Structure 1
Amino acid sequence: MLTIQYLEDSPALLHMDRKLAIDKLQAAAGYLPFTHLLIGWNVPQQLLEACRVEAERLGMRFMRWQPLLTTDKDFLPEPDWQTQAPMGNKLVGYRGMPEFTFACPNHPEVQEAIIKHIGKLIRQGLYQGFFLDRIRFPSPSTHPIKDLACFCDHCRRKAEEFGLDLDLVKRDLLSFTQAENRHLSWVKSLLTGWADPERIDLNPSFTRFLAFRKKCIVDILANVTRILREAHLEVGLDCFSPGLTHMVGQDLRLMSRHVDWIKVMTYAHAFGPAGLPYELSCFVDYLIRFTNLSEEQALHWISQCLGMPLPNNRVSLLQDGLSSLALEQEVKRGIESCSVPLLAGVELVELEGITKLNNHQLMADLNAVKQAKPAGLAISWDLLHIPLDRLGMVNQVYLG
């Protein structure tokens, strides 16, 4: 499998020339034998139809790239639907952006609105499948307690059915203050998915809390995929890099039961939400602030938690990203966690302030991914911003 994401939401799409959009798609197909075109969620009708026709001509399956728990401009979450932090405040997304501000998966109105919206899209009859994105809780890496979700009344009621007292979890989290061991234990729990019951500094109910969050995400995924299956549509899923899935409530093994394939965002050189350097650097900052660990010690400690080699300083992490060996290990971790085909997400975009790529590093990464032997590649994340020569490099290194 070889997927390409195209025409992510942008004001520029309103003025994009139809021929330009098709020319880029045709040129890309000349470099790589793409199997799936994952088309954006807010594409003007003229462009959408043109891309659908061209995808069919090129032999690509035409799938809707669909965020679920964030806005797609037609689905507009109410402020009351936003996830709630332990302090009681609503959590606003990265830099206040609506596309990173998440609705609570347990809110009945959210569930109803999503099913209604997906049903409307299905009835359009345009798509051969759906690529589901942003079906998770917001990342808490910037502050693993204050940015943790969700503690709203709807989550509290669902937690009771799960046999979990969410108020008790919240109370214990907020009691951490300056207890260094607790901060370390909690970050380790978010990275590994479980809290060691032998540790006296961490409430064992935290493991159940992490499992509860995963159940919340799997439940809403099951509800959405049920109507997609009834319509005989293919379902793909966009997930965090395997070492980071626990902290956002994604369980690759459980989610595999409801989809045809999973793409993991193994972005080793992306410096924004979901990118490994960004998320891990946030944890480093937190540990330096709330524990006695130095920068080098914090990176080593996270490396030990994840079983992944990391740079020994934050500057290197932010400038160079992760090594090819770390990338290979992450892809292998994903393959072991999934029961459906896993696609390795490889960032090829050139976006100022977000990606820092060079040909030498890219070739090493592609070789590393090839060694991991995923079911395919998910070229990320928008063809519009990918230099075509990089597609040629994928052909040469990964397919060659």
Structure 2
Amino acid sequence: MSNNWKKIKIYRSLLPIAWLYGAGVRLRNFLFDKGILRQHTFPVPVICIGNLTVGGTGKTPHTEYLIRLLRPEYQVAVLSRGYKRKSKGFVLGNPETPIEEIGDEPYQMLHKFPDIYVAVDEKRCEGIRFLTDGHTAPGTRVILLDDAFQHRYVKAGVNILLTDYNRLITRDRLLPAGRLREPVDGKNRADMILISKCPSTLTKEEQAEVRREIAPKQSQLLFFTTLAYGRLQALFVSSPERKLESIGPDEHILLLTGIASPAPLIEKLSGYTSHVIPLTFPDHHAFDANDMQRIQTAFEKLREGKRLIITTEKDAARLIGHPDIAPELTPYIYVLPVEVSFLNEEERIMFNQNITDYVRENSRNSSLSEG
């Protein structure tokens, strides 16, 4: 654990500004805690998935885990703000909705799970009202709020807080000195705390050390999750899926990412070949024609023969319909899916049971109320 501390960049010269920022956030939370700023409840189960930090903690894979858990029994709706979208207000996605109207992560979930509702609205209360009005998204029985831990106007029934194992909230600092959106004691609002992106080899002793450091309240549940990578899938052409183990040591890979934390992916692929060339862009980056030229140039520098481009599901959503992508690159572009896996089977069972019990009880109450 001590090595992780060295990896966290803290801009100590900005700590005075961070203190002022923290004072403003504490005042806002105080107003909510005292009921001066009003929270709203809704007639359907609402589950919030969020974090205390900016940057990737794995919210989308965890949201997708909840979708897979709940959609066999319930009509699920996901509500996001639609970061960097070009539209305003409430938008309910459909198969023809362009990525610019809802954002890359909602677009990814919409096409990955066509049997659920995916909507965006910067005002989450308004978005929930649309989803529960009986005709905009008929049959909705549970709403998943993506990245809404700080959106306290909604009083969720279950608050799930994620913290990256490689950058624990207890070792971070407030913006702009660090990446914390609010003070660490904001974790006390969570019902469940998930330590995400853990090494799959994390021992019980190391887990106990993390648990002591996070110090959850007696009423809070704490779980450890890791990322499990699936098979490589061709993005543009019809080709068989490939196991990661099929990557040979002489294969040259251009790793194309526009995500917050590409380091785990680089490390994963480097375990199969030493010829991994990262081409990284900012999180949620909107690729333009110049970026497409950069990608083509970088790919052409790879050794001819055994070479391919690997990208993430989120980046694939921005590439699939891009007008400037070079046609000669499309046969080489593969997507690497990622899912959440719990380190401990007993924790997976407990997590699933708590979520399904909450939804079952409150969904039944909602049905009785409507009746």
Output the TM-score relative to the length of structure 2. Answer: 0.31
Greater RCO (Cα-Cα under 8 Å, separation 6 or more): 2
Output the TM-score relative to the length of structure 1. Answer: 0.30
Higher helix share: 1
Higher strand share: 2
